[in-house]
Amino acid sequence: MLERCIRSVAAQTGVDSHDVRIVVVENDTAPACKAIVEACAAASHFPVRYIHEPRRGIPMARNRVLDAALAMNADHVVFLDDDQVAHPTFLAKHLDAARRDGADVVQPHIVPIFPDPPPFWATGDTGVVELVETDTPLSERLRGSAGTCGVMFSARLIRPEGMALRFDERLALAGGEDTDFFARARSKGAVVAWSRLPVVMDEVHRSRLTYRRYVARGLAHGGRKFAHYRETKGFGAALRKHGPEVASRFVRGVLQLIVAPLFAPFDMRRFKFSALEGGRNIAIAAGVLGAIFSLQYEYYRQIDGY
């Protein structure tokens, strides 16, 4: 996966006038991928730098990228995970979209790639790459936050004289550090937009396409949501805002699970959606309840990969 990802960046077109540099951060206690990175670097016309971050946690690795970007005096930062492949025009279209929209953050069009054959609980289309030259009006594409799956953002978000943002390392294995990062950027005035112009393919591992993993994401999300509000507004405010959600989410989830089998004979897509969302809503309720007692489920303690 890692090799495909690096080679897809090295194969970018339409960026000859830009100084593109590739930074690869390996996030594991012992380095294991340096040889792969060096082999890719030898074949890349863009400089490639390898960094080992032994502290396990996605925000730790992302902050090492930010450090490298600041040291290089970069104008923009783009994030790709090792299970993602960038379309050849990915970077050029990102820059076009940012200039056109005056955006500080651009979230690309993400195309999921499921295993063949797709697992039972996989939903949505897979591998459908549609290249476009225009977007809908910006007002329809503004977002309150973004994820790091192929995102590009202005370095003013991380410069000391700018917003001086960092990924929250307290969320090491819980996830959600990306939405937290970009939500804080949005609160400081950053323009966050989604665009269909840049395209990235996201290879979804089979182990993540199970009912249990889908529901587990909701458990982590519920805990993070309560914890974030508690830290910014206080425990009482968080309890008033999200406390009632425990009951409402639980009831909604139970009803969705009861209704789901009724769709199975004639509409499997609706059956899957109702069953998945039912489990997820119950898990969100459990996550919020756990966070009230300072418990947080760590979704990324389990590694999904090849």
Strand order in the sheet with 76-78: 76-78, 152-154, 105-113, 192-203, 84-86
Query: CA nearest 176: which of 223, 230, 211?
Result: 223
Please check the confidence at residue 61 and state whether its pLDDT lies above 90: yes
The first and second tokens of residue 173, run together, are: 């294995």
Contacts of 12 (CB under 8 A, 6+ apart): 20, 46, 86, 88, 89, 90, 91, 92
User: Could you report the per-residue pLDDT of 232-262, keeping only the tens digit for each?
Assistant: 899 999 999 999 999 999 999 999 999 999 9
Higher pLDDT, 53 or 1: 53
Contacts of 30 (CB under 8 A, 6+ apart): 54
Give mean pLDDT, residues 57-62.
96
- pLDDT reported for residue 306: 52
- pLDDT reported for residue 125: 81
What three-state secondary structure class fits 52? strand
Amino acid at position 297, single letter: Y
For 273-280, which contacts have Cβ atoms below 8 Å and span 24 or more sequence positions?
A: 273/123, 275/211, 276/121, 276/123, 276/211, 276/214, 276/215, 277/253, 278/252, 278/253, 278/254, 279/211, 279/214, 279/215, 279/218, 279/253, 280/214, 280/215, 280/217, 280/218, 280/253
Cβ contact 297:174 at 8 Å: yes
Cβ contact 288:249 at 8 Å: yes
Distance separating alpha carbons of residues 162 and 76, to the nearest angstrom? 13
User: Could you report the per-residue pLDDT of 79-121, keeping only the tens digit for each?
Assistant: 999 999 999 999 999 999 999 999 999 999 999 999 999 999 9
Distance separating alpha carbons of residues 156 and 74, to the nearest angstrom? 10
Cβ contact 63:168 at 8 Å: no
* Alpha-carbon distances, residue 69 vs 17, 139, 157, 249 (angstroms): 18, 30, 11, 41
Cβ contact 176:224 at 8 Å: yes
Distance separating alpha carbons of residues 243 and 253, to the nearest angstrom? 16
Please check the confidence at residue 288 and state whether its pLDDT lies above 80: yes
Share of the chain above pLDDT 90, in %: 90
Distance separating alpha carbons of residues 54 and 27, to the nearest angstrom? 6
Share of the chain above pLDDT 70, in %: 99
**Residue 213's pLDDT band (cuts 50, 70, 90):** very high
The first and second tokens of residue 88, run together, are: 């050849």
Query: CA nearest 169: which of 299, 28, 59?
Result: 59
pTM above 0.85, yes or no: yes
User: Could you report the per-residue pLDDT of 14-36, keeping only the tens digit for each?
Assistant: 999 999 999 999 999 888 999 99
